[in-house]
Chain A
């Protein structure tokens, strides 16, 4: 028994050591330095207790970043989820060119985020394609382009994020749809249920675990949005989000690692609470479907 345990431990040790060294230690260490005034270039640091946390909740830049993060999360998740489900339903049907559409919808998910962000920076620019479409539709686009106006920049990035995430979540929904037994649809058809009724009474309830997964994963991903902001606006025009704030405080000009660590822990708690709430609410709600 003992030797079996030691074999288990030795076999899992590469993973365990890696986890302890590169995940557990940094996580614990950053929790600790969140209570100090540690700066990268300054020798030594002082224990400041909860000062960093108190200062953060009085820091307008952090509060704006939190607000932007919530706008991002709450704005993108419902749209992404509904559209991804719709697309999954569409490409789940039999029609010519189905494989092409499945691949085309999934393509953005395997393209580099930086490349997509650069392409969209161009599309959103003054005189760019999206401004051109807006003008054709009778709207007047922002003078300097969508990304260089505080009223539109964050929403433009959210739009791009939805477009980019759709394919990935469509694929997850598609896998969920494939797992629903055909007999249930046949039974619904025999019972004379309309397609809409079948969707509400068969498809949606059976997709419940997949939907919860999609919403939670998408929430975590959206709370951590960074690359888009970094590439497209550098947090300017009211687009700085929580993670961008952490980056800017800890790893750019100020190198305030203590302050940045405290901000990261606030985000960590928010994401944790939000995820648990989503699980609880969606479980209860989906039980009614």
Chain B
């Protein structure tokens, strides 16, 4: 009897020491949709099989309050080992000393991935790019056909875009040419900045010393954006705009690859067209003050680039394991697996980008093309505040008829002050 109790005790001790030898890596991530979460879980299980000494504990975040949760967790010392971050947040957390410096670890990987500039703050790399994202112009071919356009039409400059949007808007009540964003944060600037960058606008001078957001190019871009909003805008939040677009009420919207996924999963019958963001074109003139000698980007224009990054908590006790997991998740094979499950168009791995999957669909091809024609906001800890100010300024012009030039000059002062702080 005593013997069997002793045996059981030894067995229990051996078992518990084996469990204790396992290190648990906490990973907070945003992919919660039922069509992608199982892939994440499967990848994690595979990682655990390959690394029996490591266990991964997944926690889901939502875009509605994920940023706040991460900030609170860092402030209270309860942050996970690995955290998924939107590209715009990296500088904020890195400047506060919350993220581990990955510069040395990723040195040999730099050529194989895209998006490092968004993760680099003060010349140090604080996160590894995972899935990148850009925005395309989506349009409804049936509405264009009804407005008198040929089946293969796609706008290639601002003049063509403006005319097509106006023509769709004239189709009748309840039909709008353009989806115009409002009523939520972190959206509007991603819709305006493509026009701003395409016109040659810059937020800071090339030497990064001065804010130059009120340049003539920026004013032209804002005037054009306002003209689309005023003549033909269906105003709602992103979800509302996409709903209206899928119901055939809106001709043109700017959106990301998630809309392709939605169309497929919801089996929407829409005669869809996508095209890279049109640039102003050489003969663009919608305002009195248009300067024909203005340096403008020819078609195609630029779009917004952002993405999902994986970063390691600076205070993590499991940094080696965390980096191992990040490398596993961001490997070309796993990125491809993720993109296929999530219908994502832009893996950060250059090897994954070359896969035939992305060549098989013209819309995905457009996303790949657009990603290489995109710009991203400055990597600045104050960017999140600047972004809020840019959105407020654009909204004042769109909804309160504030003059674009004066509004952008005021914005320039505000951003300059924010940089000084």
Contact = CB atoms under 8 A, between A and B. Distances in A.
Interface of A: 40-43, 121, 125-127, 144-145, 147-150, 232-234, 236-237, 251-255
A59 B167 CA distance: 45
A119 B93 CA distance: 37
Contacts, number: 56
Contacts of A251: 68, 72
Across the A-B interface, give the 7 residue pairs with the lowest CB-CB distance, nearest first: A144-B235, A41-B96, A40-B75, A253-B384, A251-B68, A40-B71, A148-B235
A148 B181 CA distance: 10
A150 B400 contact: yes
Interface stretch (B20-28, B35-43, B182-190, B285-293): B182-190
A148 B399 contact: yes
B395 A236 contact: yes
Interface residues of B, number: 29
A237 B233 CA distance: 17
B92 interface: yes
B399 A149 contact: yes
Contact of A126 (B71, B72, B234, B385): B234
B183 A144 contact: no
Consensus secondary structure, chain A interface: loop
A251 B384 CA distance: 13
Interface string B231-242: 001111000100
A33 B73 CA distance: 18
Contacts of B302: none
A266 B233 CA distance: 40
Contacts of B180: 144
A145 B71 CA distance: 35
A152 to B, nearest CB: 12
Interface string B364-404: 00000000000000000000110010000001000110000
Given A144-B233, A236-B395, A41 B92 contact: yes
Contact of B399 (A144, A234, A252): A144
B75 A237 contact: no
Contacts of B234: 126
Among B97, B184, B234, B236, find the residue whose CB has the most chain A CB atoms closer than 10 A: B236
A41 B71 contact: yes
Nearest to B186: A253
B343 interface: no
Given A41-B98, A234-B183, A253 B388 contact: yes
